[in-house]
Chain A
């Protein structure tokens, strides 16, 4: 059982979209925190990640800043390798 996943994002941020598409592709459920809608969430984002940028993906004790695909691949490896094309 994976720990709960939270993503701090803004609605217009392309890398937040990428991160969400990645998580969906890996079948990972997540809670989205839209920091554009709530200034207090900006403070929480800065506290959790020590920086002021989105996206931030929080997985248990792991904090991934930005769409860091290498880190996300390590946290959520592909379950089944796709078949070889003909």
Chain B
């Protein structure tokens, strides 16, 4: 392992990118590790509340983040997720992609990820019928039978998109009722090619090479729905599990103070992975700036040994 960096930034959405811009301008020795640049920003349709842009699409803003960060000569390790971040002596060790990286400080800016069902077949058939984005992949299921799993607004939204494309849509909700908006629910339930299944749990996703069935259980009885697509829309969760010992609220969101400090020395967090209210792109960006300034101050004042 090489000499420790000043800082490692994990995640490159608005929080991570803004932290990187501040760290670069402060001439810190740091690196950024992330699967991609943009994070959840890439998912947004139209953005009308990011200062300076009256209207910009999510993909366009993400591309602008990318262009901005590349003005600086920063080691940007893309395509990599950090599996474990832990403290060893006075350093933060980030493991992932078969590598260990050491830094005196770390900023966790990993945002939120779609919640998974955790049933057999979900991983195996990912992109082989299992999808987490109806807007993206819905049109690939034209004329076939599909299922949407979930009962909130994102599930209802996916179902309403899919009833116009698919032959038939099964809407699977674990609870006895749907939790999404009444107007959307009314539209969904009124669609002639939609069957709502409440009090129904998914137990497995099956198929050969691609998905061909969804196994569900209702009141102890199992049956298989002959679907080719399964859209999982059960919300998202803070991507904080990989951080050893960090204090979170009851929902996995990292608790930070007004300087983005966590409960652990030299560890900062910013953006949607934290319990800071208002999950907004501009809030995440601002928090990223604060986190970088705090990491800089920590390096300047904390003892080396």
User: How far does the alpha carbon of A10 sit from the alpha carbon of B70 in the complex, in Å?
Assistant: 28
Q: Which of A15, A22, A84 contacts B73 (CB 8 A)?
A: A84
User: How far does the alpha carbon of A81 sit from the alpha carbon of B79 in the complex, in Å?
Assistant: 20
User: How far does the alpha carbon of A35 sit from the alpha carbon of B44 in the complex, in Å?
Assistant: 21
Asked if B4 is an interface residue, CB under 8 A from chain A, the answer is no
Asked if A73 is an interface residue, CB under 8 A from chain B, the answer is yes
> Is the beta-carbon distance between A17 and B127 smaller than 8 angstroms?
no
Provide the residues of chain A in CB contact with B127, threshold 8 Å. Answer: 51-53, 65-66
> Is the beta-carbon distance between A82 and B70 smaller than 8 angstroms?
yes
> Is the beta-carbon distance between A21 and B73 smaller than 8 angstroms?
no
User: How far does the alpha carbon of A66 sit from the alpha carbon of B127 in the complex, in Å?
Assistant: 9
Contact status of A13 and B133, CB under 8 A, knowing A52-B127, A67-B36: yes
> Is the beta-carbon distance between A13 and B135 smaller than 8 angstroms?
yes
Provide the residues of chain A in CB contact with B96, threshold 8 Å. Answer: none
User: How far does the alpha carbon of A16 sit from the alpha carbon of B135 in the complex, in Å?
Assistant: 11
User: How far does the alpha carbon of A39 sit from the alpha carbon of B140 in the complex, in Å?
Assistant: 8
Asked if B129 is an interface residue, CB under 8 A from chain A, the answer is yes
Q: How many residues of B contact A (CB 8 A)?
A: 40
> Is the beta-carbon distance between B133 and A51 smaller than 8 angstroms?
no
> Is the beta-carbon distance between B140 and A17 smaller than 8 angstroms?
no
User: How far does the alpha carbon of A41 sit from the alpha carbon of B20 in the complex, in Å?
Assistant: 41
Q: Which of B36, B128, B210 contacts A69 (CB 8 A)?
A: B36
Rounded to whole Å, the gap between the CB of B122 and the closest CB of chain A is 14
Counting chain A residues whose Cβ lies within 8 A of the other chain, the interface size class is 35 or more
User: How far does the alpha carbon of A69 sit from the alpha carbon of B128 in the complex, in Å?
Assistant: 21
- Residue in B closest to A22 when the chains form the complex, CB atoms: B63
Q: In the complex, which residues 184-203 of chain B have their Cβ closer than 8 Å to any Cβ of chain A?
A: none
Asked if A54 is an interface residue, CB under 8 A from chain B, the answer is yes
- Residue in A closest to B139 when the chains form the complex, CB atoms: A36
- Residue in B closest to A68 when the chains form the complex, CB atoms: B79
Asked if B59 is an interface residue, CB under 8 A from chain A, the answer is yes
Asked if B45 is an interface residue, CB under 8 A from chain A, the answer is yes
Q: Which of B36, B67, B72 contacts A25 (CB 8 A)?
A: B67
Beta-carbon contacts of A58-84 to B below 8 Å, as 1s and 0s?
000000011111110100001001101
- Residue in A closest to B142 when the chains form the complex, CB atoms: A39
Q: Which of B45, B67, B131, B142 contacts A14 (CB 8 A)?
A: B45
> Is the beta-carbon distance between A14 and B42 smaller than 8 angstroms?
yes
Rounded to whole Å, the gap between the CB of B136 and the closest CB of chain A is 4
Q: In the complex, which residues 1-52 of chain A have their Cβ closer than 8 Å to any Cβ of chain B?
A: 10, 12-18, 21-22, 25, 35-36, 39, 42, 45-46, 50-52
Contact status of A21 and B42, CB under 8 A, knowing A53-B131, A53-B137, A67-B36: no
User: How far does the alpha carbon of A78 sit from the alpha carbon of B62 in the complex, in Å?
Assistant: 17
> Is the beta-carbon distance between A12 and B78 smaller than 8 angstroms?
no
Asked if B288 is an interface residue, CB under 8 A from chain A, the answer is no
Contact status of A21 and B137, CB under 8 A, knowing A52-B210, A69-B37, A78-B70: no
Beta-carbon contacts of B6-42 to A below 8 Å, as 1s and 0s?
0000000000000000000000000000011110001
Q: In the complex, which residues 34-84 of chain B have their Cβ closer than 8 Å to any Cβ of chain A?
A: 35-38, 42-45, 57-60, 62-63, 66-67, 70-73, 78-80
For the complex with contacts A18-B38, A53-B127, 17 further pairs of A-B residues with Cβ separation under 8 Å are A13-B135, A13-B136, A14-B43, A18-B59, A18-B62, A25-B63, A36-B142, A51-B128, A52-B128, A52-B129, A52-B137, A53-B137, A53-B140, A73-B78, A81-B73, A84-B72, A84-B73
